[in-house]
Amino acid sequence: MDVTELTKQLTKKAPAMVYLVLGTQQVLQQAAIDGFLRLIPADQRVMNVGRYDMETTPVASALDDAMAAPFFGERRLVLVNKPYFLTAEKKGGKVDHDLASLANYLAHPEPTTVLVFLAPYEKLDGRKKIVKDLKKVAVTVSAAPLDERAARQQVVSQLTTAGFQIDEDALTTLVQRTNADYGLMIANLTKLKILAYQDKKITKQMVVALVPQSLDDNVFDLVTAVLHHDQARSLSLYQQLLAGQKQPLQINAVLVSQFRLLIQLKVLSQRGLSQGSMASKLNVHPYRVKLGLRTVRQFTLASLNNAFLGLIKIEQQLKTTQQDPELLFQLFLLQYDR
């Protein structure tokens, strides 16, 4: 189940005895924690909520807590964070985890305790016996990064619940400026809600005013202008980046990175790979892949390669000569345009 479904279930029926929250999206991990904490009345949390970091604390300490009776309350909540022993990851250090005792607990969980494993990882090592034991008894909750569609839906849902509306153009701009990163989208909602407090409506102008564009976003606009041989706009955007105190080598490095990604996407798309497969293979957010594919359909591989090689040449000149960076970029545009 996802975190939204978990939150609803926790308010409607008794919780399970063991949960596994698996995924790298921190904002979803925190939302799950908040949902579990609401199971324990605020005045009982000091005595009936335990938090344990497995990178510094033995799992036996968490199990001792889980087996204890609630203190003047209905249940205990034990949060086990970063259980790296469930993955293929190897950690140095002296923490000794008694996995046999953990397996025994999972076979006979304490009815008055909610034991939650917070695993901020992409996946667990399914070959391990303890992982198999855990999955037999635990309710698994996904905290994996949301794709663009799901992120949009969650943002709209959260705003609606809070009594706010957001224009479609505003939502699209928010997606673009955060690269559809749900964590960044949620982080910016607080500022947007304050600005829209009076009429409860978030507009595109508000997003543009409050949500900054990253260097990658600005450079993506520059890449598009270069590919369309729009020299005037390309030079204007380059000058804006320089005026924003961006270093020429830094700008060029991001340009090289963007064109490298476009070349990779062009090649992989010609091989018939799906968008999801490309994102996984290149370890790139699906939204960047979506934008990149939209771009490469309009251009040949030769055109992308020419731009990439021209930028590599600029990088060499920036590192080995004292030539003006803006002049080098103008020369690149003239040579690429031919």
pLDDT at 92 over 70: no
Which of 29, 8, 43 has the alpha carbon at shortest distance from 81?
Answer: 29
Handedness of CA 109, 112, 116, 117 (dihedral sign): negative
- As a residue count, the chain comes to 338
Residue 180 and residue 71 in one domain: no
What is the rounded average pLDDT of the residues 183-194? 89
Longest dimension (CA), the chain: 80
Instruction: Please report the pLDDT score of residue 283 as a whole number.
Output: 81
Instruction: Please report the pLDDT score of residue 337 as a whole number.
Output: 56
Cα separation values, 300 from 10, 222, 325, Å = 53, 18, 27
Which of 122, 142, 162 is at the close of a domain?
142
Contact 75/115 with Cβ under 8 angstroms? no
Predicted model pTM = 0.71
Residue 126 and residue 171 in one domain: no
Mean pLDDT over each residue of the chain, to the nearest integer:
88
Instruction: Please report the pLDDT score of residue 66 as a whole number.
Output: 92
Residue 44 and residue 66 in one domain: yes
Burial 278-314 (b: 16+ CB within 10 A, else e): bbeebebbbbbbebbbebbeeeeeebbeebbebbeeb
Instruction: Please report the pLDDT score of residue 242 as a whole number.
Output: 83
> Any idea what the CATH number is for the domain that residue 28 is in?
3.40.50.300
pLDDT at 244 over 80: no
Residue 9 and residue 132 in one domain: yes
pLDDT digits (tens, 9 = 90+) for 64-73: 999 998 888 8
Which of 112, 142, 172 is at the close of a domain?
142
> Tokens at residue 221, please?
């606009």
pLDDT digits (tens, 9 = 90+) for 136-152: 999 999 999 888 888 99
Residue 206 and residue 219 in one domain: no
Residue range(s) defining the domain that contains residue 258: 215-337
